[in-house]
Structure 1
Amino acid sequence: MDEMTRLRELRADAPVPDRAGLAPGRERLTDAIAGNGGRRTLALRLRPMLRDWRIASLGAVVAVTAAALVITQVVGTSAPAPSAPATVVGDLDLSSPAAALNRAADHLERQEVPPEPRADQWIYTREVDAQQAQQWEELPEAIRKKIPMAYSPDQWVPYDDKAAENDASDTDYRTARESYRIAAALPEDPEALLARLREVFPTGSGPDGAPEAKDEHSFRALAVLLESYPIPPDALARIYRAMATVGGVKVTDHLIRDASGREVIAVTRKYDESDSRREILIDPVDYSYAGNRDVVTRTHEVPAPEGLAPIVQKRGEVLIDIARTHAAVVDAKGQKP
């Protein structure tokens, strides 16, 4: 047994602080601070090289040059242990998407809208993605050199990125400044808001993939924008109210553990043509975007290249597990708040 395994087992029975119990008091406190709700969590789409939002792990990128290596890795093991089921947790009502998301929207509408970042500023984010980190570490050095990126939990992108704005090759990717202005201009009416996002983030056709049905398209478009920074709080409120109206959207009736160990709200929707679901994770205190997961909904086999055994994905297995733990506007690349 290695030292890290021993260390994890030594602390396995250590209690985790209950964020749900702290949420009501923290929310009242942050509402009183400076009149603007305290924490301002930033969101950002960090993966312009990934052409499909559903391909979120590095393994999918690496597959182009190392398919045999990546296909043999079992991505994820089992879902993190959730908190005890409870439809009402503290002041949170998780009985339905409307109950949870409309409460989040009510909170966000009370927050002061911060100024738009300056054109010369940068967006810093840090994300916990143990699966991606492990895949990167296990890659042979020769393959790493062929990949046009290196894995790092810390990322910086310029707020004003004119070169990326002019690149139309990825229909999902928008720069930080584009995302801010798209979000700020979204209409109040949920149906009109969803129609606008389906226009901004079009569905596939032909070689780009099969077209999505309306509700799946809407949920994907919402998920893409929620990864972005900046999103003003009033715009985020409109986004959450619209999300609650999308067909097939559910909310887990208890807080779940994200990749960093935090307790978060999970808003979910099963993929129409897949045995898995996408989960959008939301902080239960300030209702900011907290990450995303893909979870298997039915045990099934995934075909493998000829000569390799198929991979069995079990119900509850977490395929993608990303937690955004830090985000800020900074004045220079490499700077941390």
Structure 2
Amino acid sequence: MDEMTRLRELRADAPVPDRAGLAPGRERLTDAIAGKDRRRTFALRLRADWRIASLGAVVAVTAAALVLTQVVGASAPAPSAPATVVGDLDLSSPAAALNRAADHLERQEVPPEPRADQWIYIREVDGWQEQQWEELPEKVRKKTPMTYSPDQWVPYDDKAAENDASDTDYRTARESYRIAAALPEDPEALLARLREVFPTGSGPDGAPEAKDEHSFRALAVLLESYPIPPDALARIYRAMATVGGVKVTDHLIRDASGREVIAVTRKYDGSDSRREILIDPVDYSYAGNRDVVTRTHTIPWDSGAPATVQKRGEVLIDIARTHAAVVDAKGQKP
């Protein structure tokens, strides 16, 4: 999947989105209405039960001629003073940071697997998507049965979704838990297994990824799942430290919720941006993700719309997971 192309289409600074830019979003909304859960990275969480659809798709389907009067460009949070050692954290290298996290997780008791009748509650802060939803005209909102909410509940056992093979990146909470729990200790074998589970794109879904980029994306996809047993998370972190091109920011950064978090990064191959996987520095749980521009550049548009300028340090995606829990019923919060 050509993720950066989709992101740029959603971030285009043109006053009216062109048809080419809205086509992927239209497809995602169609799939969501049909009952398919798409990847959240480039989708606005518009809740109808627990289904997901993109904001670009909402605009395309319900108001194709809608003029977006403002496209929000988030600026990068101001980093703290650079330091390779922060308290008990060693941020001098990916191996130092991630192996320390793994050491901590391996000492934790592994809780029982959730029951089939339980639900997964997730709350994520994503100010850009929330503001885009709020800026939609009321008439547009009324034409869609969905509403924006930072809270979502996903059934742990969802056999219908497990049998839907149309999205190769999507796995139910139960599938993800069991995939993670069964991962091998050896980092190379672990990464090979995840590349099988989350295959790379081909044909209309984009060119196949190189091995290291594929590995990092597969790790990022699995880490969005909840829960992951702590011993499995430890193996995942140790494997992540071995992926070519992976770095760790030598200081804690501020996420979308204002927390200080660890950022494990890797630049997209052939692109001017990087993916950041965010980790809580206290319990080493998954804390969200960001996409950040690494070089100021201009993106021309074939439609004749004004070119988009993306500036170094601009945050394109900034999602902070603030709560995650296993609950007994949909709508319940811990």
Shorter-chain TM-score tier: 0.7 to 0.9
Aligned residue-pair number: 333
Shift of 1:302: 2.4
Question: Deviations for 1:277-328, whole angstroms, at most 9, x for unmatched residues?
Answer: 0000000000000000000011112234624212211000000000000111
Shift of 1:139: 1.5
Shift of 1:64: 6.2
Report the Cα distance in structure 2 between the residues aligned to 1:2 and 1:109, rounded to whole angstroms.
Answer: 35
Contact 2:91 2:97 in 1 (8 A): yes
Q: Secondary structure at the match of 1:167?
A: coil
Shift of 1:150: 2.6
Question: Deviations for 1:75-127, whole angstroms, at most 9, x for unmatched residues?
Answer: 43311111111100011000000000000000000000000000000000111
Shift of 1:267: 0.2
Q: Secondary structure at the match of 2:64?
A: helix
Paired-residue identity, %: 93
TM-score, scaled to structure 1: 0.80
Contact 2:272 2:294 in 1 (8 A): yes
Q: Secondary structure at the match of 1:67?
A: coil
Report the Cα distance in structure 2 between the residues aligned to 1:268 and 1:14, rounded to whole angstroms.
Answer: 29
* 2:308 alignment counterpart: 311
Shift of 1:65: 5.8
Say if 1:196 and 1:181 are closer, same or farther in 2 by CA, change over 3 A: same
Report the Cα distance in structure 2 between the residues aligned to 1:307 and 1:29, rounded to whole angstroms.
Answer: 26
- Find out whether 1:322 has 2:324 as its counterpart: no
Say if 1:58 and 1:36 are closer, same or farther in 2 by CA, change over 3 A: closer
Contact 1:165 1:175 in 2 (8 A): yes
Say if 1:300 and 1:10 are closer, same or farther in 2 by CA, change over 3 A: closer
Superposed CA RMSD in Å reads: 13.1
- Work out which structure has the larger RCO, using CA pairs closer than 8 Å and 6 or more positions apart in sequence: 1
Contact 1:186 1:196 in 2 (8 A): yes
Question: Deviations for 1:152-196, whole angstroms, at most 9, x for unmatched residues?
Answer: 101001000111111111100000000000000000000000000
Report the Cα distance in structure 2 between the residues aligned to 1:143 and 1:20, rounded to whole angstroms.
Answer: 21
Which range moved further: 27-36 or 240-249? 27-36
Runs (5+) with no aligned partner, structure 1: none
Runs (5+) with no aligned partner, structure 2: none
Say if 1:29 and 1:137 are closer, same or farther in 2 by CA, change over 3 A: closer
Shift of 1:39: 27
Q: Secondary structure at the match of 1:103?
A: helix
Shift of 1:20: 45
* 1:97 alignment counterpart: 94
Shift of 1:58: 3.6
Contact 2:279 2:285 in 1 (8 A): yes
Contact 1:125 1:324 in 2 (8 A): yes
Say if 1:247 and 1:117 are closer, same or farther in 2 by CA, change over 3 A: same
Report the Cα distance in structure 1 between the residues aligned to 2:285 and 2:304, rounded to whole angstroms.
Answer: 45
Contact 2:183 2:190 in 1 (8 A): yes
Say if 1:316 and 1:12 are closer, same or farther in 2 by CA, change over 3 A: closer
Question: Deviations for 1:230-289, whole angstroms, at most 9, x for unmatched residues?
Answer: 200000000000000000000000000000000000000011022110000000000000
Contact 1:165 1:174 in 2 (8 A): yes
Shift of 1:69: 5.4
Say if 1:290 and 1:10 are closer, same or farther in 2 by CA, change over 3 A: closer
Say if 1:21 and 1:320 are closer, same or farther in 2 by CA, change over 3 A: closer
* 2:204 alignment counterpart: 207
Contact 1:20 1:89 in 2 (8 A): no
Report the Cα distance in structure 2 between the residues aligned to 1:26 and 1:88, rounded to whole angstroms.
Answer: 46
Q: Secondary structure at the match of 1:68?
A: coil
Shift of 1:149: 3.8
Shift of 1:32: 44
TM-score, scaled to structure 2: 0.81
Q: Secondary structure at the match of 2:46?
A: coil
Question: Deviations for 1:175-219, whole angstroms, at most 9, x for unmatched residues?
Answer: 000000000000000000000000000000001111100000000
Shift of 1:138: 1.1
Which range moved further: 125-134 or 27-36? 27-36
Report the Cα distance in structure 1 between the residues aligned to 2:293 and 2:38, rounded to whole angstroms.
Answer: 36
Say if 1:236 and 1:7 are closer, same or farther in 2 by CA, change over 3 A: closer
Report the Cα distance in structure 1 between the residues aligned to 2:38 and 2:55, rounded to whole angstroms.
Answer: 34
Report the Cα distance in structure 2 between the residues aligned to 1:152 and 1:128, rounded to whole angstroms.
Answer: 10
